[in-house]
Structure 1
Amino acid sequence: MNNRTTILETALAFFAAFGYEATGTLEICDAAGVSKPTMYHYFKSKQGLMKTILSENFEPFLERLKEATRYQHDLTLNLEKVLRAYFSFAAENPVFYRLQFSMQYAPLKSESYELVSPWVKRQRELIQMMFAQAEADHGNMRGRSSSYTTTLLGMINAYASDALARERELDDEMIYQARHQFMHGIFS
């Protein structure tokens, strides 16, 4: 493993365990076995390091999400694809998933929140566009794409966080349960 990868993996572990603001670059460098100049050679700053972690994890995920949200006049299928994209992402990257989740709910003026916000916004846009496109097929959905997006993302994060905390598998059964719950509510 090269220094850049070691620094990224160490920083991810520290940021996820202790928070971005509470972690210093010296702690990361010591744990990674590199000097501060080596870290700064690759990332220029702690913020640059976090931006790289976010980018390298979110960019491939957003490609998967973009494909999952491409509306094909079958909302049930799209919801399954979206859930599968998120649940696979969480299962494959549990440390990063927990980190980005905590950053989304950090204080609004915190650096953590400001760094993750553009990535969260892009996810919301993709999902909201899917719901907006579905309005043509489902008239009862008109004007609700924003609230559907909020509800779906909240549910996804709750399911994923619960599964990761309890070390439960985010499998096909959980995808079915989540999709059914979203589409039919608590009285189904």
Structure 2
Amino acid sequence: MKPAPPTRIFLLDQALRLFSAYGYEGVGVQQICNDAGVGKPTLYHYFGSKLGLLETLLRERLAPLHEALERACALTPFDHALVALAETTFAFAREEPQLYRFYLTLWFAPVESEARQAAEEHHQRHFEAFDACFRAHEQASGHGLTGRHRLLAASFLGLVNNHIGIALNSFATLNARSAADTVAMFLNGALPPASSNGD
């Protein structure tokens, strides 16, 4: 495969830095070009538009995460798969904090916004990897989860992303131990049961 031109990579890097700092709507094409030291025709040559740049950025930079999640969700038993999903997501966020911070903001962008619509397929792919784990468990276990796999998958993904958001603000860590703790919290609750007086 032919390597990507350095200018193309640099444009993606500068766009990510700016989008992460100011949001997609808060950054113009001219600002990206100025920071990358190129003219608008260069950006349009590689990406066609600001939206094309965003779509390329998300597709190329998130692909390793989604591929790793799809492998992780195939693990058994169920709790091992959950730990693998959390650990994989934590590791990616730890290695790509700027990208993951921006990716998180797109979950909550206005529904009809250009950025939210560009991110939708990536959010869906992320969710489907989690949902596949819960769906397989539902089918195999018969533990009364019938029809609830999507809600449970969304809840678990929300817990994982919440932990990442806290960690990106320096209030938590993103490692194997915190992944296991997050799964334990999801499966067993955040606090141990209170003991009764006189027990």
TM class by shorter chain equals over 0.9
Ranges in structure 1 where 5+ consecutive residues have no aligned partner: none
Give the structure-1-normalised TM-score. Answer: 0.94
Letter in 2 for 1:89: F
Residue aligning to 1:171: 175
Structure with more helix by fraction: 1
Q: Which residue, 107, 128, 141 being the options, matches 2:145? A: 141
Partner Cα distance (2:12, 2:170) in 1: 26
Query: After TM superposition, where is structure 1 displaced by more than 3 Å over at least 4 residues in a row?
Result: none
Structure 1, residues 14-36: CA drift from partner, whole Å, max 9, x if none? 01111111110100000111111
Q: CA deviation at 1:169?
A: 3.0
The alignment-based identity, stated in percent, is 32
Unaligned runs of 5+ in 2: 193-199
**1:170 partner SS:** coil
Alignment length (residue pairs):
187
The 5-angstrom pairing of residues 1-188 of structure 1 reads: 2-72=6-76, 74-135=77-138, 136-166=140-170, 168-188=172-192
Q: Which has the larger radius of gyration?
A: 2
| Conservation of the 8 A alpha-carbon contact between 1:94 and 1:164 | yes
* Cα deviation code 1:1-56 (max 9, x no counterpart): 82111111000000111111111010000011111111111111101100111001
Normalised TM-score (structure 2): 0.89
Residue 115 of structure 1 aligns to which amino acid in structure 2? A
1:138–1:175: structure 2 CA closer, same or farther, 3 Å change rule?
farther
The Cα RMSD (Å) is 1.4
Distance in 1 separating the partners of 2:189 and 2:61: 32
